[in-house]
């Protein structure tokens, strides 16, 4: 089973992904917890290229190519082998992040994102957990832990609102694989809701 977590910056999805991995391991499942951009040695190198440095370093189109290149390597070297070995893969962000961040925020490039996805990736997760939350809360959380990788997190409230709406629209577009979880609730409550969504889909 391949599970991705998505949400705006500061939504708490990374914490929730970790909690889910711990719980599934506790039940005896083999779990690979991974993230994007990154998740394989090559993709981690590409991560540095896209998340650090001058925000205008890459055009929107080049950025799509870099994220897709990272994803392809991650898929080949980490995700596919784990799935073939019968493990559960939990990925903090996957292709929906590219649909959102590159497809929407830097112009109308969703068609380009989709074409490359079809050609180079060709699959989506079995389940995508969208941690949906108030953008103001998300932004203040994201600001509280700024790092060198802040370039994507400096977009302001208006963009965060658009991102939230965009993720919710993706959840409708791909309704069968999405579980939308209320991320404004307490972390334990969110974790329970996430687990319920996963349990319902476990083979
Ligand atoms: P990260 O440090 O992993 O933060 P977060 O906890 O918000 O996931 O940063 C990843 C950043 O990269 C995040 O701001 C979203 C962005 N991103 C894209 O723009 N496109 C993508 O395809 C992916 C996977 C991430």
Residue having the nearest C-alpha atom to atom 3 of ligand 1: 36
Mean pLDDT, all residues of the chain = 92
> In the chain, what's the furthest Cα-to-Cα distance?
45
Question: Measured in angstroms, how far is the CA atom of residue 152 from the centroid of ligand 1?
Answer: 7
Q: Which two tokens mark 14?
A: 């990374």
Question: Measured in angstroms, how far is the CA atom of residue 5 from the centroid of ligand 1?
Answer: 11
- Which ligand 1 atom is nearest residue 8's CA? 7
Question: Measured in angstroms, how far is the CA atom of residue 37 from the centroid of ligand 1?
Answer: 7
**Do residues 98 and 64 make contact, with C-beta atoms less than 8 angstroms apart?**
yes
Length of the chain: 203
Compute the average pLDDT of residues 142-165: 72
Compute the average pLDDT of residues 47-54: 92
Backbone angles phi, psi at 18, to 5 degrees: -65, -45
User: Which residue would you say has higher pLDDT here, 158 or 34?
Assistant: 34
Going through 58-167 in order, the beta strands assigned E by DSSP cover 88-92, 127-132
User: Which residue would you say has higher pLDDT here, 21 or 146?
Assistant: 21
Domains of the chain: 2-199 (3.40.50.300)
Q: Is 37 close to ligand 1, i.e. is its CB under 6 Å away?
A: yes
Distance CA 187, CA 147 (A): 23
Instruction: Name the DSSP class of 126.
Output: S
Q: Which two tokens mark 29?
A: 């499942």
In this predicted model, what pLDDT tens digit does every residue of 51-109 receive, in sequence order? 998 888 999 999 999 999 999 999 999 999 999 999 999 999 999 999 999 998 767 89
Residue having the nearest C-alpha atom to atom 16 of ligand 1: 152
């Amino acid at each position: 089973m391949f599970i991705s977590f998505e949400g705006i910056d500061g939504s708490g999805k990374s914490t929730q992904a970790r909690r889910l991995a711990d719980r599934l391991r506790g039940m005896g499942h083999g779990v690979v917890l991974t993230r994007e951009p990154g998740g394989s040695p090559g993709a981690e190198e590409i991560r540095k290229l896209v998340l650090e440095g001058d925000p205008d370093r890459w055009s929107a189109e080049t950025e799509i190519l870099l994220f897709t290149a990272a994803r392809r390597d991650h898929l080949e070297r980490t995700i596919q082998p784990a799935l073939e070995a019968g493990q559960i893969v939990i990925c903090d962000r996957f292709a929906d992040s590219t649909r959102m961040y590159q497809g929407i925020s830097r112009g109308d490039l969703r068609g380009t994102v989709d074409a490359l996805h079809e050609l180079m990736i060709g699959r989506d997760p079995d389940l995508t957990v969208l941690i949906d939350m108030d953008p103001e809360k998300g932004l203040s959380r994201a600001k509280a832990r700024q790092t060198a990788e802040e370039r994507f997190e400096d977009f302001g409230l208006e963009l965060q609102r658009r991102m939230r709406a965009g993720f919710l629209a993706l959840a409708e577009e791909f309704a069968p694989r999405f579980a939308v979880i209320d991320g404004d609730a307490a972390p334990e409550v969110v974790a329970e809701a996430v687990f319920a969504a996963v349990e319902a889909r476990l083979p």
